[in-house]
Structure 1
Amino acid sequence: MTVHTHRAPAPAGPAGQPSFDACVGLGYHCETTYQLRRITGVERAHFFDWLDLDLDAVTEAVDGGFRDVLRTGAVEPFSDGLCALDRGSDIRFFHEFTPSDGEHLTQSDIDAQLPRVQAKFAALARRWHQLAASPAHVLHVHLDAFDEATADDVRRLRAVLAAAHPGHRSTLLWLRRTAPADAEALPPGILPRTVAGAPGRWEGDDHAWDAAFADLRVPRPRPALPEAGDA
Structure 2
Amino acid sequence: MYDLCVGLGYHCESTHQIRRITGDSRAHFFDWLDLELASVVEAVETDFRHVLRPGLTDPFDGGSCAIDRGSDIRFFHEFRAEAPHGRLTQTDIDAQHPSVAAKFAHLAGRWRTMTASGARVLYVHHDAFDEADPGDMRHLAATLAAQHPGHRFDLLWLRRTPPAAGFLPDGVTWDTVPLVPDRWQGDDRAWDRTLATRLGRPGTPRPTG
What interval of TM-score do these two structures reach, taking the shorter chain for normalisation?
A: over 0.9
- Residue 191 (structure 1) aligns with: 173
- Structure 1: 4+ residue segments shifted above 3 A: 218-221
- Residue 92 (structure 2) aligns with: 109
Aligned residue runs from structure 1 range 15-26, under 5 A: 19-26=1-8
The amino acid of 1:46's aligned partner reads H
- Please state how far the C-alpha of 1:128 moved relative to its aligned partner: 0.4
Bigger helix share:
2
2:79 to 92, 97, 103: 97
Larger RCO, structure (CA 8 Å, separation 6 or more):
1
Alignment partner of 1:28 is 2:6: no
Alpha-carbon separation, structure 2, partners of 1:107 and 1:219 = 44
The amino acid of 1:144's aligned partner reads D
CA contact (8 A) 1:20 1:219 kept: no
Alpha-carbon separation, structure 2, partners of 1:150 and 1:99 = 37
Alpha-carbon separation, structure 1, partners of 2:50 and 2:82 = 26
- Please state how far the C-alpha of 1:219 moved relative to its aligned partner: 6.2
CA contact (8 A) 1:41 1:220 kept: no
1:125 to 103, 108, 113: 108
Q: Name the count of aligned residue pairs.
A: 203
- Please state how far the C-alpha of 1:220 moved relative to its aligned partner: 7.7
- In structure 2, stretches of 5+ residues that fail to align are 204-209
2:159 to 176, 190, 199: 176
- Please state how far the C-alpha of 1:215 moved relative to its aligned partner: 2.9
Residue 185 of structure 1 aligns to a residue whose secondary structure is: coil
Alignment partner of 1:53 is 2:2: no
- Residue 68 (structure 1) aligns with: 50
Alpha-carbon separation, structure 2, partners of 1:169 and 1:25 = 15
Alpha-carbon separation, structure 2, partners of 1:21 and 1:107 = 40
- In structure 1, stretches of 5+ residues that fail to align are 1-18, 222-231
Alpha-carbon separation, structure 2, partners of 1:118 and 1:220 = 37
1:157 to 137, 140, 164: 140
Alpha-carbon separation, structure 2, partners of 1:109 and 1:219 = 42
Deviations 1:165-215 (A, max 9, x none): 000000011000001012x41111111111111110000110110111243
Identity %: 60
Residue 142 of structure 1 aligns to a residue whose secondary structure is: strand
CA contact (8 A) 2:21 2:196 kept: no
